[in-house]
Amino acid sequence: MALDPGIVPEGRRTFMQEVIAATPGGDPHLELCLQCGTCGGSCPSGPDMDHTPRQLFAMIAAGMREDVLKSNTPWFCVSCYYCVVRCPQEIHITDIMYTLKRMAIEEGYYRESSAAEAPDFSETFIDFVEHYGRSFELGLATRYHLKHHPLGMLKMAGMGLNMLIKGRMDLKPTRIEHLDQLQAILQKAKELEGKD
Amino acid sequence: MQHKPQEKPRIGVYICHCGTNIAGTVDVEEVARWAGELEGVVVARDYKFMCSSLGQDLIENDIKEKKLNRIVVAACSPLMHEKTFRGACQKAGLNPYFFEMANIREHDAWATDDKTAATFKAKALVEGAVNRVKFHMPLEPIPVDINPNTLVVGGGIAGITAALELANAGYHVYLVERSPSIGGHMAQLDKTFPTLDCSACILTPKMVDVGQHENITLLAYSEVEAVEGYLGNFTITVRKKARHVNEDLCTGCGICIEKCPRKVIDTEFEAGLGYRKVIYRPFPQAVPKYPVIDTENCTFFQRGKCRACQIFCPTKAIDFDQEDELITFQVGNIIIATGYDLFDARRIPQYGYGRLANVFTSLEFERMVNAAGPTGGRIVLRDGVTEPRSVAIIHCVGSRDKNYHEYCSKICCMYSLKFAHLVRERLPDAEVYNFYIDIRAPGKGYEEFYHRVLHEGAHLIRGRVAEVTDAAREPGEEGKLIVQVEDTLIGKQRRIPVDMVILSAGIEARKDSKEVAQLFKMGCDFDGFFVERHPKLDPVATMTEGVFIAGCAQGPKDIPDTVAQGAAAAARVAGLIHQGTVLMEPVRAYIHEDLCSGCRICNNLCPYNAIVFHEDRQKSEVITALCQGCGTCVAACPSGVISGAHFTNDQIFAQIEGVLWDVRAKATAPS
Amino acid sequence: MPNRYAYYPGCSLEKNARAYHISTLYVAEKLGVALEEVPDWNCCGATEYFAIAALPAYALVARNLALAQGMDWNGGQRHLVAPCSACFLNLSKTDHYMADSPQLAAQVNEALAAGGLHYDPGAVFVHHLLDVIVDDVGYEKVQEMVTKPLFGLRVAPYYGCLVTRPDYKHIHNEPEHPFCLDDLLAALGATVIDYPVKTACCGGHMTQISEDTALELIRRLLKAAADYRADAIVALCPMCQLNLDGYQAQVNKHFGTDYHIPILYFTQVMGLAFGATPEEIGIGKEFVDARPVLNKIQEKPPEEGKKRRKKRRDKQALPMPELLRTHTGRK
Ligand SMILES: Cc1cc2nc3c(=O)[nH]c(=O)nc-3n(C[C@H](O)[C@H](O)[C@H](O)COP(=O)(O)OP(=O)(O)OC[C@H]3O[C@@H](n4cnc5c(N)ncnc54)[C@H](O)[C@@H]3O)c2cc1C
Ligand code: SF4
Ligand code: SF4
């Protein structure tokens, strides 16, 4: 019988139970993994991952917390959902990848992975959303690339310029009208999640 | 009508621990203590294993010593042990129907981990049983004569085996087969694992035996339309579909087939890989040998022209006016052996079947390697000419997958290994890749066969294939089918270019299995397979007396297991026939004639036609020998004057009251 | 067809995918699909917010659902349509998971309450624009509007990931090899290639995180289209369009290839067939210029007459099984 993470006291949960508990929205079925490799075979970025999703799940089952959270695998997930629809055990793989990203950020392990910049991209993106209610491509690109690829910036600049010329990028972010309302909602959500 | 129990009840209650099965969740001692205080209970005990002979002795001794006249055992399901405990009562001289069983295992202990709730429910079930047993009446089992004829439905290897076993034992068999010939899937196979005997070589002699056996009436191209009656006395109606060929005149020469100008794709016997004529015999060794006209595709039936077969038939056997025939006969027992359907591989689009020409199903491949098949046994691509230089065999297609079938189809690993061997045998230079999750080779000589295939040089790659595609990424992939998979033993994604892909599709229940189950009043599980009476101890009987199952209709299995089940079902039937008479549960309906208003409502409702109406007296009566105790009339009678023996209103209401004891307690308790 | 849809354009359609926005409005008007923008909608968080925090990410999306629920529906069923695949997924996923998990629904609503909002799971039916066109409008109505059929134009139907997968509401029922866009494009008169990678991934945000990974994914899509001699790839997601279009030059540089395959939104292609001028539907905003291939459109269907001749079966060839189509549409 699957252990319901809800009834295992927090301090005594296995790593797998923790991952399951931190994945909202229906039962992610992680404990059912057959190790068949369908996910690893389907994953478009599989060849560039430190571990295939399947391996990662075996590592989770083995309680290899550090190795899992240091792996670049979750950060290379492109959210294509191929593995999800193909997994014979109906495991919510993509959602679990998101959970692992969150755990890796929280515990700081991501810095040691080969995708150490990825969280920064997400965070920069979110920063704009939280401040304006909408995303802001120009700001995102400049801020993120200046920080991580100052040289690559030049390469990107061409594309950015083109975007501006084609009228596909704005110079200023758009702000929603009731930004305060959105911010109150997000603030409350953070509180509820204990991430204040 | 309220009947008072006739004698003062002296009840013995026995609570079984069933090891820890029950005692692990239910506080059995407390239930026993509590039961001891119920009205009418003389003794209440708990015991480790009530079904053991010591447990039964306990009941027998108590009956004798304590003059018990009613017994309640709270243990497992009555399906398991009701018979056992009734036997104990009988041995001690008590009518076995003065016994009642409360199921505190399946219905209670196994249903929850909550000990308090389980103990509470056990008490409710026990009080229900105690209340009910007070109203029990002594009953005598009803003897039923067994008609020695048997109906076998489905002429695959399971049905063939069962029919021959019974026929050889001297009993008559009606074998009803839906398609024009018997043989089933086995007739389509080339060689059979693990010994690689030629399927046709071992099957056709048996088919011929069936065709010629004096004890077998073969009704091919026929279907069972109606089933009436019960164990020992079934009345069967079969629709014999019109072949449009007069069987008395046809010599099976096959000239009609030769002369027929129209060809269609044969999606049945050739699994879609070949063509057949519109007047056809599924395969040359078909039994019976008579051809049949596929009227949907026949030029004459569709457009009124052609008649080629009729013109050329030397014996004038073609009969365009032939009509379906309804045949009725009596049998005592029924064996259902309707087999399986192959999983439709097109349902998994990422494997490309239906889109990519050189992806084949396993049955297509069986036909391809078969010397009598469309390619004469040559392994070729869809163009019919090119030999593949590399072949991928994908296991578990549609099996072990919650999106399709969660169960393991059991046979695909072995036949996939067989394919690997056959490819290497026919095309020694071809590379063969088997993609598997786990190799399942439990069986005599099976693991050894697996080793043999490894030795022959097949590449076994552990990983469930993600997709088969024609989208090449690298020059080496151009023009090939690329099998993309995680090689899980290396932990790397691999893309393996091949010429041919074979999909080892699983086994699924027949599309119409639910209707068939209904027709024969059997159970059918969520997947559509027929349910056996007990998964371990009674694998060929069903919940319906006199109806047995065998072969893949019961669940996926290979030929050896299918044959074993076919023979087992025949043995069970032979046993019943040999007994001649069996004792049936006396659970029958009874009409209190003086109270019957003669409204006749019950008359037509009885599914067994067991109710007669006496015009002279204007009263209905149940013919006990025909009644099956289903209870339909009991529920329907507007005057409430029909009672079902052992299920009387008194008994049921007493039981309900007992089960709801706490409600009553609460209602009457001062608040 | 519902008489009105709440329209959620999403951030991309405001900026880099303006062409998608314009053409969507054009097509919607032609087909009589009434779109009304969700007032003061906010970003859906794309694939980024879920990586940082779960509940805030759901709350962010749910604010849009709540706003849509709060629009004036006259008691009718509420429909919300998003043309961006990522927005569509986030909206439908949040709705689906809130319905599936009462605990999540309660928490999200507690957060929404801080902004005076509330969302009842299931209150709004979330559509992608594609399924509104194929299931609600229907191919026949589309065909009626065609004034300039796209005869001779070879198009690769590109669905990308998120519309047919994971398909929480079982709208498509064809996660791997769908046909509805194929059928739609065929209804416009175009020649639709059997694009083998029609639901493969465009790389998503990998262009920002690991460019090598992303360029390889984009290359695969361009190569398959080129192998099948497609004149254009038809996309239905701003991210797919941007990756295939904006990074095409970089792919060519990186791999030494020479692809010039314009990437159009399906609404642009529909607009063309409905007789729009390129400007009316935002053609010209793409990096790989689409105008040259538009010249390939002919007056007459290609190889007419040839079609009628039934393909003779090759004597030796083995019969081919039929394809199974399982698109169910919204019931
Ligand atoms: C590709 C493939 C390869 C295989 N290779 C091997 C092998 O090498 N070795 C091995 O041991 N096993 C093999 N098997 C398994 C083997 O086919 C089965 O074990 C066996 O055929 C089961 O026999 P059956 O009689 O139960 O069912 P079936 O063969 O399916 O026969 C059922 C019969 O019932 C008839 N029928 C169905 N419904 C009705 C109805 N309502 N009324 C009347 N008639 C009906 C059907 O027409 C059919 O004739 C293979 C299976 C497959 C798919
Ligand atoms: S596809 Fe599913 S079952 Fe198979 S290895 Fe991946 S997660 Fe496990
Ligand atoms: S959803 Fe993520 S993990 Fe799954 S196949 Fe796609 S990229 Fe890989």
Rg (CA), chain C: 21
Length of chain A: 196
Residues C125 and C150 in one domain: no
Amino acid C311: pLDDT: 56
- Give me the CATH number covering residue B636: 3.30.70.20
Max Cα distance, chain C (Å): 73
B1, part of any domain: no
Distance CA B276, CA B293 (A): 11
Give the confidence band of A39 by pLDDT, cuts at 50, 70, 90. Answer: very high
Residues C186 and C225 in one domain: yes
Q: How many domains does chain B have?
A: 5
C164, part of any domain: yes
The CA-based dihedral angle spanning residues A43, A45, A51, A52, taken in that order and rounded to the nearest 10 degrees: 10
B111, part of any domain: yes
CB distance B467–A52 less than 8 Å?
no
B395 burial via Cβ count (<10 Å: 0-12, 13-18, 19+): buried
Domain extent for B575: 150-241+326-339+509-579
Q: Write the CB contacts of B554 (distance below 8 Å, at least 6 apart in sequence).
A: B529, B530, B532, B539, B540, B565
Question: If phi over 0 gives left and psi between -120 and 50 gives alpha, with beta otherwise, what is residue B508?
Answer: beta
CB distance B491–A38 less than 8 Å?
no
Distance CA B56, CA B59 (A): 5
Q: Write the CB contacts of C243 (distance below 8 Å, at least 6 apart in sequence).
A: C202, C203, C204, C207, C214, C218
How would you classify the pairing of strands B279-280 and B333-336? unpaired
A83 Cβ closer than 6 Å to some ligand 3 atom: yes
Integer CA distances (angstroms), C194 to B356, B473, C155, C233, C297, in order: 11, 17, 9, 12, 19
- Give me the CATH number covering residue C30: 1.20.1050.140
Q: C131 by DSSP, 3-state: which?
A: helix
- What mean pLDDT is predicted for residues B246-267? 96
CB distance B353–C321 less than 8 Å?
yes
- Give me the CATH number covering residue B412: 3.50.50.60
- Where is average pLDDT lowest: A1-15, A34-48, B281-295, C169-183? A1-15
CB distance B486–A82 less than 8 Å?
no
Residues C32 and C80 in one domain: yes
Distance CA B439, CA B402 (A): 19
CA atoms within 13 A on the CB side of B425: 13
Integer CA distances (angstroms), C300 to B606, C140, C190, C192, in order: 70, 20, 11, 16
Which helix (H) or strand (E) segment is B127 a member of?
helix B115-133
Residues C95 and C236 in one domain: no
User: Is the CB of residue A1 less than 8 Å away from at least one CB of chain C?
Assistant: no
CB distance A166–C204 less than 8 Å?
no
Q: Is the dihedral of CA B472, A89, B503, B268 positive or negative?
A: negative
Flag whether pLDDT at A117 surpasses 60.
yes
Of ligand 1's atoms, which has the minimum distance to the CA of residue B154? 34
DSSP lists the bridge partners of residue B408 as none
CB distance C51–A45 less than 8 Å?
no
Count of A-B CB contacts under 8 Å:
66
Q: Identify the domain boundary among B508, B534, B559.
A: B508
| Residue to test with chain A: of B113, B488, B492, B494, most A Cβ within 10 A | B488
Residues B402 and B526 in one domain: no
C87, part of any domain: yes
Instruction: List the helix and strand counts (H, then E) for chain A.
Output: 11, 0
Degrees to nearest 5, angle at CA A173 with C13 and A120? 95
Residues C155 and C122 in one domain: no
- Report, as ranges of residue numbers, the positions in chain C whose pLDDT lies below 70: 303-313, 330-331
Residues B156 and B288 in one domain: no
Which helix (H) or strand (E) segment is A70 a member of?
helix A65-70
* Residue of chain B minimizing CA distance to A49: B492
Distance C93 CA to ligand 1 centre (A): 43
Residues B489 and B520 in one domain: no
Question: What is the CB < 6 Å shell around ligand 1?
Answer: B 153-159, 176-179, 184-186, 189, 192-193, 223, 337-340, 342, 362-363, 366, 411, 415, 418, 510, 516, 551-552, 557-560, 562
Residues C175 and C271 in one domain: yes
Residues B33 and B119 in one domain: yes
Nearest CA to C110 among C66, C149, C141, C152? C66
CB distance C100–A26 less than 8 Å?
yes
Q: Are B543 and B522 in contact (CB under 8 A)?
A: yes
Domain extent for C70: 5-130
* Tens digit of each residue's pLDDT (9 = 90 or more) over B460-477: 999 999 999 999 999 999
- Topology of domain A10-112 in CATH is Fumarate Reductase Iron-sulfur Protein; Chain B, domain 2 (1.10.1060)
How would you classify the pairing of strands B325-331 and B233-240? antiparallel
Residues B548 and B502 in one domain: no
User: Is the CB of residue B1 less than 8 Å away from at least one CB of chain C?
Assistant: no
- What mean pLDDT is predicted for residues A161-190? 89
CA atoms within 13 A on the CB side of C194: 8
* Residue of chain A minimizing CA distance to C94: A25
Residues B283 and B416 in one domain: no
Q: Is the preceding omega at residue C166 within 30 degrees of 0, hence cis? A: yes
CB distance A88–B485 less than 8 Å?
no
Residues C53 and C123 in one domain: yes
Flag whether pLDDT at B11 surpasses 60.
yes
The CA distance from B454 to the nearest CA of chain A, in Å, is 21
Give the confidence band of B484 by pLDDT, cuts at 50, 70, 90. Answer: very high
A97 Cβ closer than 6 Å to some ligand 3 atom: yes
CB distance A115–C96 less than 8 Å?
no
Q: What are phi and psi of B662, to 5 degrees?
A: -70, -30
B502, part of any domain: yes
Residues of chain A positioned with their CB less than 8 A from the CB of B491: 40, 51-52, 54-55
**Residues of chain B above pLDDT 70, percent:** 98
CA-nearest residue for atom 8, ligand 2, is A33
Of ligand 1's atoms, which has the minimum distance to the CA of residue B224? 42
A55 Cβ closer than 6 Å to some ligand 2 atom: no
Distance A90 CA to ligand 2 centre (A): 8
Residues C86 and C175 in one domain: no
A87 Cβ closer than 6 Å to some ligand 3 atom: no
Task: Quickly count: other Cβ atoms within 10 Å of residue A92's Cβ.
Answer: 23
Amino acid B665: pLDDT: 72
Which helix (H) or strand (E) segment is B612 a member of?
strand B611-614
Nearest CA to B187 among B173, B174, B203, B175? B203
Flag whether pLDDT at B5 surpasses 70.
no
Residues B214 and B100 in one domain: no
- Token pair, residue B135, equals 């109203």
Give the confidence band of B26 by pLDDT, cuts at 50, 70, 90. Answer: very high
Amino acid A5: pLDDT: 54
Chains that contact A by 3+ CB pairs under 8 Å?
A: B, C
DSSP letter string, B365-411: HHHHHSTTSTTTT----TTSSPPPSEEEEEEEESSS-TTS--S--SS
User: Is the CB of residue A55 less than 8 Å away from at least one CB of chain B?
Assistant: yes
Give the confidence band of B2 by pLDDT, cuts at 50, 70, 90. Answer: very low
B249, part of any domain: no
Q: Identify the domain boundary among C130, C155, C170.
A: C130
Give the confidence band of B1 by pLDDT, cuts at 50, 70, 90. Answer: very low
Q: Could you say which of C174, C224, C322 has the minimum Cβ distance to residue B354?
A: C322
Nearest CA to A31 among A70, A4, A9? A4
Distance B552 CA to ligand 1 centre (A): 7
Distance B400 CA to ligand 1 centre (A): 20
B275 burial via Cβ count (<10 Å: 0-12, 13-18, 19+): middle
B42, part of any domain: yes
Q: How many domains does chain C have?
A: 2
- Token pair, residue B14, equals 């026995």
Q: Identify the domain boundary among C97, C130, C163.
A: C130
User: Is the CB of residue A73 less than 8 Å away from at least one CB of chain B?
Assistant: no
Residues B635 and B658 in one domain: no
Residues B27 and B176 in one domain: no
* Residue of chain A minimizing CA distance to B437: A36
Q: Are B417 and B193 in contact (CB under 8 A)?
A: yes
* Tens digit of each residue's pLDDT (9 = 90 or more) over B294-319: 999 999 999 999 999 999 999 999 99
What is chain B's mean pLDDT, rounded? 94
Distance CA A15, CA A21 (A): 10
Domain boundaries, chain A: 10-112, 118-193
- Give me the CATH number covering residue B53: 3.40.50
The CA distance from A158 to the nearest CA of chain B, in Å, is 28
- Where is average pLDDT lowest: A97-101, A152-156, C67-71, C181-185? A152-156
Residues B187 and B334 in one domain: yes
User: Is the CB of residue B259 less than 8 Å away from at least one CB of chain A?
Assistant: no
Euclidean distance between the first and final Cα of chain A, in Å?
A: 35
Give the confidence band of B3 by pLDDT, cuts at 50, 70, 90. Answer: very low
- Token pair, residue B521, equals 């009043």
CB distance A42–B484 less than 8 Å?
yes
B233, part of any domain: yes
The CA distance from C312 to the nearest CA of chain A, in Å, is 37
DSSP letter string, B35-79: HTTSTTEEEEEEES-TTSHHHHHHHHHHHHHH---EEEEEES-HH
Flag whether pLDDT at A3 surpasses 50.
no
| Residue to test with chain B: of C192, C193, C318, C328, most B Cβ within 10 A | C318
A60 Cβ closer than 6 Å to some ligand 2 atom: no
Give the confidence band of B608 by pLDDT, cuts at 50, 70, 90. Answer: confident
* Tens digit of each residue's pLDDT (9 = 90 or more) over B399-456: 999 999 999 999 999 999 999 999 999 999 999 999 999 999 999 999 999 999 999 9
pTM: 0.90
Residues of chain A positioned with their CB less than 8 A from the CB of C21: none
Distance B350 CA to ligand 2 centre (A): 16
DSSP lists the bridge partners of residue B73 as B14, B101
Give the confidence band of B173 by pLDDT, cuts at 50, 70, 90. Answer: very high
Degrees to nearest 5, angle at CA B656 with B653 and B660? 140
Amino acid at C299: E
The CA distance from B294 to the nearest CA of chain C, in Å, is 19
CB distance C93–A22 less than 8 Å?
no
Which helix (H) or strand (E) segment is B255 a member of?
helix B255-259
* Residue of chain B minimizing CA distance to C315: B384
- Token pair, residue C239, equals 């991210």
Integer CA distances (angstroms), C278 to C27, C263, C267, C271, C274, in order: 13, 14, 12, 9, 11
Residues C150 and C290 in one domain: yes
Q: What are phi and psi of B477, to 5 degrees?
A: -100, -10
Distance CA C5, CA C17 (A): 20
| Residue to test with chain A: of B486, B487, B489, B492, most A Cβ within 10 A | B486
Nearest CA to B494 among B520, B446, B458, B459? B459
The CA distance from C291 to the nearest CA of chain A, in Å, is 15
Residues B358 and B496 in one domain: yes
Amino acid C325: pLDDT: 86
Residues B525 and B451 in one domain: no
Q: Are A140 and A101 in contact (CB under 8 A)?
A: no
Residues C94 and C218 in one domain: no
Residues C187 and C259 in one domain: yes
Distance B287 CA to ligand 1 centre (A): 16
SS3 letters across B495-537: EEEECEEEEEECEEECCCHHHHHHHCCCCECCCCCECCCECCC
Whose tokens are 């078909």? That residue is: B286
CB distance A40–B350 less than 8 Å?
no
Residues C172 and C286 in one domain: yes
Max Cα distance, chain A (Å): 60
Give the confidence band of A24 by pLDDT, cuts at 50, 70, 90. Answer: confident
**Across chain C, where does the E strand assignment appear?**
5-7, 35-37, 78-82, 124-128, 154-157, 191-192, 232-235, 263-265
* Tens digit of each residue's pLDDT (9 = 90 or more) over B67-125: 999 999 999 999 889 999 999 999 999 999 999 999 999 999 999 999 999 999 999 99
